[in-house]
Amino acid sequence: MGDLRSIIRRIHLFADLDEGDQARLEEGARHLKLKKGASLFHCGDEADGFYYVIQGCVKLTLFAPGGGEKVVEIIREGMTFGEAVMFAGKPYPVTSQAVSETHLLFLSRDPVLRCIEQRPGFALRMLTGISRRMHGLVHDIETYSLCSALQRVVGYLLNEIEPEGAHESICALRLPTNKSVLASRLNLTPETLSRVLRNLSEKSLIEVSGRQVVIRDIRRFVQFAEQSGRLL
Protein backbone atom coordinates (compact mmCIF):
# COMPACT_ATOMS: atom_id res chain seq x y z
CA MET A 1 0.00 0.00 0.00
CA GLY A 2 2.99 2.30 0.39
CA ASP A 3 4.12 4.28 3.45
CA LEU A 4 1.85 6.92 5.02
CA ARG A 5 3.69 9.87 3.43
CA SER A 6 3.42 8.45 -0.09
CA ILE A 7 -0.30 7.80 0.40
CA ILE A 8 -0.87 11.34 1.68
CA ARG A 9 0.83 12.72 -1.44
CA ARG A 10 -1.72 10.88 -3.62
CA ILE A 11 -4.69 12.70 -2.07
CA HIS A 12 -5.80 15.65 -4.20
CA LEU A 13 -6.78 17.67 -1.12
CA PHE A 14 -3.15 17.77 -0.01
CA ALA A 15 -1.62 18.69 -3.39
CA ASP A 16 -0.18 22.08 -2.35
CA LEU A 17 1.05 21.10 1.12
CA ASP A 18 4.78 21.23 1.73
CA GLU A 19 6.87 18.51 3.35
CA GLY A 20 6.34 19.98 6.81
CA ASP A 21 2.55 19.99 6.48
CA GLN A 22 2.59 16.44 5.13
CA ALA A 23 4.73 15.36 8.06
CA ARG A 24 2.21 16.87 10.50
CA LEU A 25 -0.65 15.06 8.78
CA GLU A 26 1.37 11.85 8.91
CA GLU A 27 1.62 12.15 12.70
CA GLY A 28 -2.16 11.90 12.98
CA ALA A 29 -2.63 9.29 10.25
CA ARG A 30 -2.87 5.54 10.33
CA HIS A 31 -3.41 2.76 7.85
CA LEU A 32 -6.47 0.54 8.33
CA LYS A 33 -7.38 -2.76 6.73
CA LEU A 34 -10.94 -4.07 6.74
CA LYS A 35 -12.11 -7.51 5.76
CA LYS A 36 -15.19 -7.78 3.57
CA GLY A 37 -18.27 -7.09 5.70
CA ALA A 38 -16.33 -5.44 8.55
CA SER A 39 -17.60 -2.12 9.91
CA LEU A 40 -15.39 0.94 10.16
CA PHE A 41 -17.72 2.98 12.35
CA HIS A 42 -21.38 2.89 13.38
CA CYS A 43 -24.09 5.51 13.44
CA GLY A 44 -23.59 7.56 16.62
CA ASP A 45 -19.83 7.01 16.89
CA GLU A 46 -17.65 10.08 17.47
CA ALA A 47 -16.22 11.60 14.27
CA ASP A 48 -12.63 12.48 15.15
CA GLY A 49 -11.24 12.44 11.60
CA PHE A 50 -11.94 11.42 8.04
CA TYR A 51 -10.94 8.63 5.66
CA TYR A 52 -9.35 8.06 2.27
CA VAL A 53 -9.94 4.79 0.40
CA ILE A 54 -6.59 3.46 -0.82
CA GLN A 55 -8.02 0.27 -2.26
CA GLY A 56 -11.40 -1.42 -2.09
CA CYS A 57 -14.90 -0.11 -1.49
CA VAL A 58 -17.02 1.06 1.46
CA LYS A 59 -20.78 1.54 1.70
CA LEU A 60 -22.42 4.12 3.96
CA THR A 61 -25.78 2.93 5.23
CA LEU A 62 -28.78 3.82 7.35
CA PHE A 63 -30.71 1.14 9.23
CA ALA A 64 -34.45 1.23 9.85
CA PRO A 65 -35.78 0.16 13.28
CA GLY A 66 -37.00 -3.07 11.70
CA GLY A 67 -33.53 -3.88 10.39
CA GLY A 68 -33.90 -2.73 6.79
CA GLU A 69 -30.80 -1.22 5.18
CA LYS A 70 -30.58 1.85 2.93
CA VAL A 71 -27.27 2.45 1.16
CA VAL A 72 -26.66 6.20 1.12
CA GLU A 73 -23.37 6.22 -0.74
CA ILE A 74 -20.74 3.91 -2.20
CA ILE A 75 -17.18 5.13 -1.56
CA ARG A 76 -14.52 3.80 -3.91
CA GLU A 77 -10.76 3.93 -4.37
CA GLY A 78 -9.40 7.48 -4.41
CA MET A 79 -12.41 8.97 -2.59
CA THR A 80 -12.58 10.55 0.87
CA PHE A 81 -15.48 10.56 3.32
CA GLY A 82 -16.36 11.84 6.78
CA GLU A 83 -15.01 15.39 6.35
CA ALA A 84 -18.29 17.28 6.88
CA VAL A 85 -19.21 15.39 10.06
CA MET A 86 -15.67 15.84 11.40
CA PHE A 87 -15.90 19.63 11.02
CA ALA A 88 -19.38 19.78 12.55
CA GLY A 89 -18.17 17.99 15.67
CA LYS A 90 -21.17 15.67 15.53
CA PRO A 91 -21.34 11.85 15.57
CA TYR A 92 -21.50 9.88 12.35
CA PRO A 93 -25.09 9.77 11.03
CA VAL A 94 -24.43 6.54 9.08
CA THR A 95 -22.72 3.19 9.46
CA SER A 96 -19.80 2.26 7.20
CA GLN A 97 -19.04 -1.26 6.05
CA ALA A 98 -16.43 -2.70 3.70
CA VAL A 99 -17.98 -4.13 0.53
CA SER A 100 -14.71 -5.93 -0.27
CA GLU A 101 -11.33 -6.20 1.45
CA THR A 102 -10.49 -2.52 1.84
CA HIS A 103 -7.41 -0.47 2.76
CA LEU A 104 -7.97 3.04 4.13
CA LEU A 105 -5.99 5.96 5.47
CA PHE A 106 -7.43 7.64 8.57
CA LEU A 107 -6.52 11.32 9.06
CA SER A 108 -7.22 12.76 12.51
CA ARG A 109 -8.98 16.08 12.93
CA ASP A 110 -6.44 18.31 14.72
CA PRO A 111 -3.59 18.17 12.14
CA VAL A 112 -6.13 18.80 9.37
CA LEU A 113 -7.54 21.83 11.18
CA ARG A 114 -4.03 23.28 11.59
CA CYS A 115 -3.43 22.92 7.84
CA ILE A 116 -6.73 24.68 7.13
CA GLU A 117 -5.70 27.61 9.34
CA GLN A 118 -2.41 27.99 7.49
CA ARG A 119 -3.27 27.04 3.88
CA PRO A 120 -6.19 28.88 2.22
CA GLY A 121 -5.87 26.72 -0.90
CA PHE A 122 -6.25 23.58 1.16
CA ALA A 123 -9.28 25.01 2.98
CA LEU A 124 -10.92 25.87 -0.35
CA ARG A 125 -10.44 22.35 -1.68
CA MET A 126 -11.97 20.92 1.48
CA LEU A 127 -15.00 23.22 1.09
CA THR A 128 -15.30 22.33 -2.60
CA GLY A 129 -15.27 18.61 -1.83
CA ILE A 130 -17.94 18.96 0.85
CA SER A 131 -20.08 21.12 -1.46
CA ARG A 132 -19.88 18.51 -4.21
CA ARG A 133 -20.93 15.82 -1.75
CA MET A 134 -23.94 17.89 -0.65
CA HIS A 135 -24.88 18.61 -4.27
CA GLY A 136 -24.72 14.88 -4.96
CA LEU A 137 -27.08 14.12 -2.07
CA VAL A 138 -29.59 16.73 -3.31
CA HIS A 139 -29.32 15.21 -6.78
CA ASP A 140 -30.06 11.79 -5.30
CA ILE A 141 -33.22 13.09 -3.62
CA GLU A 142 -34.34 14.63 -6.91
CA THR A 143 -33.64 11.37 -8.75
CA TYR A 144 -35.55 9.21 -6.25
CA SER A 145 -38.51 11.61 -6.29
CA LEU A 146 -38.85 12.31 -10.01
CA CYS A 147 -37.20 9.54 -12.01
CA SER A 148 -38.42 6.08 -12.91
CA ALA A 149 -36.45 2.93 -12.14
CA LEU A 150 -35.34 2.77 -15.77
CA GLN A 151 -34.09 6.36 -15.71
CA ARG A 152 -32.15 5.79 -12.49
CA VAL A 153 -30.35 2.73 -13.84
CA VAL A 154 -29.61 4.27 -17.25
CA GLY A 155 -28.37 7.46 -15.60
CA TYR A 156 -26.17 5.51 -13.20
CA LEU A 157 -24.55 3.53 -16.02
CA LEU A 158 -23.91 6.71 -18.01
CA ASN A 159 -22.28 8.33 -14.99
CA GLU A 160 -19.99 5.30 -14.64
CA ILE A 161 -18.45 5.85 -18.08
CA GLU A 162 -14.95 7.30 -17.70
CA PRO A 163 -14.46 10.63 -19.58
CA GLU A 164 -11.85 9.09 -21.86
CA GLY A 165 -14.31 6.36 -22.84
CA ALA A 166 -17.24 8.63 -23.60
CA HIS A 167 -16.26 8.92 -27.27
CA GLU A 168 -15.79 5.19 -27.80
CA SER A 169 -18.44 3.09 -29.53
CA ILE A 170 -18.42 0.39 -26.86
CA CYS A 171 -17.69 0.54 -23.14
CA ALA A 172 -17.14 -2.13 -20.47
CA LEU A 173 -18.00 -1.26 -16.86
CA ARG A 174 -17.55 -3.16 -13.64
CA LEU A 175 -20.16 -2.44 -10.99
CA PRO A 176 -18.48 -1.47 -7.69
CA THR A 177 -20.70 -3.76 -5.61
CA ASN A 178 -23.13 -6.61 -5.96
CA LYS A 179 -26.56 -5.82 -7.40
CA SER A 180 -28.28 -5.91 -4.01
CA VAL A 181 -26.14 -3.06 -2.65
CA LEU A 182 -26.42 -1.11 -5.89
CA ALA A 183 -30.21 -1.50 -5.87
CA SER A 184 -30.35 0.00 -2.37
CA ARG A 185 -28.11 2.87 -3.51
CA LEU A 186 -30.60 3.62 -6.33
CA ASN A 187 -33.57 3.22 -3.96
CA LEU A 188 -34.80 0.16 -5.85
CA THR A 189 -35.53 -3.40 -4.87
CA PRO A 190 -33.04 -6.00 -6.17
CA GLU A 191 -35.86 -7.50 -8.24
CA THR A 192 -36.57 -4.16 -9.92
CA LEU A 193 -32.90 -3.59 -10.72
CA SER A 194 -32.62 -7.07 -12.23
CA ARG A 195 -35.76 -6.47 -14.29
CA VAL A 196 -34.43 -3.17 -15.66
CA LEU A 197 -31.05 -4.69 -16.56
CA ARG A 198 -32.82 -7.58 -18.25
CA ASN A 199 -35.00 -5.12 -20.19
CA LEU A 200 -31.91 -3.22 -21.39
CA SER A 201 -30.25 -6.50 -22.37
CA GLU A 202 -33.31 -7.58 -24.36
CA LYS A 203 -33.12 -4.29 -26.26
CA SER A 204 -29.48 -5.16 -27.11
CA LEU A 205 -28.29 -2.01 -25.35
CA ILE A 206 -26.13 -3.78 -22.78
CA GLU A 207 -24.69 -7.17 -21.91
CA VAL A 208 -24.52 -8.23 -18.27
CA SER A 209 -22.34 -10.94 -16.77
CA GLY A 210 -22.19 -10.80 -12.99
CA ARG A 211 -20.86 -7.36 -12.11
CA GLN A 212 -19.54 -6.79 -15.63
CA VAL A 213 -21.73 -4.56 -17.84
CA VAL A 214 -20.92 -3.83 -21.49
CA ILE A 215 -22.66 -0.89 -23.17
CA ARG A 216 -22.76 -2.13 -26.73
CA ASP A 217 -23.17 1.26 -28.45
CA ILE A 218 -22.66 4.37 -26.32
CA ARG A 219 -24.27 6.75 -28.83
CA ARG A 220 -27.36 4.56 -29.10
CA PHE A 221 -27.45 4.21 -25.30
CA VAL A 222 -27.36 8.00 -24.86
CA GLN A 223 -30.17 8.38 -27.42
CA PHE A 224 -32.20 5.81 -25.49
CA ALA A 225 -31.57 7.76 -22.26
CA GLU A 226 -32.81 10.97 -23.88
CA GLN A 227 -35.91 9.23 -25.15
CA SER A 228 -36.50 7.80 -21.67
CA GLY A 229 -37.05 11.29 -20.35
CA ARG A 230 -33.80 12.82 -19.13
CA LEU A 231 -30.09 12.37 -18.65
CA LEU A 232 -29.30 12.03 -14.95
Give, rounded to a whole angstrom, the gap between the first and last alpha carbons of the chain: 35
What predicted TM-score, i.e. pTM, was given to this entire model? 0.82
Instruction: Check residues 88 and 209 and name the one with the higher pLDDT.
Output: 209
- pLDDT tens digits, residue range 119-129? 887 788 888 88
Contact 45, 92 (CB under 8 A): yes
Q: In whole numbers, what is the pLDDT of the chain averaged over residues?
A: 86
Does the pLDDT at position 175 exceed 70?
A: yes
| Beta-sheet pairing, 206-209 with 69-76 | unpaired
Give the CA distances from residue 4 to residues 29, 43, 53, 76, 103, in Å, rounded to whole numbers and listed in that order. Answer: 7, 27, 13, 19, 12
Picking from 57, 93, 54, the residue whose alpha carbon sits closest to that of residue 75 is: 57
Picking from 204, 202, 187, 203, the residue whose alpha carbon sits closest to that of residue 153 is: 187
- pLDDT tens digits, residue range 9-59? 888 878 777 888 888 888 889 999 999 999 999 999 999 999 999 999 999
Question: How many degrees, rounded to 5, is the angle at CA 223 between CA 221 and CA 229?
Answer: 105
Within 13 A of 188's CA, how many CA atoms are on the CB side? Answer: 23
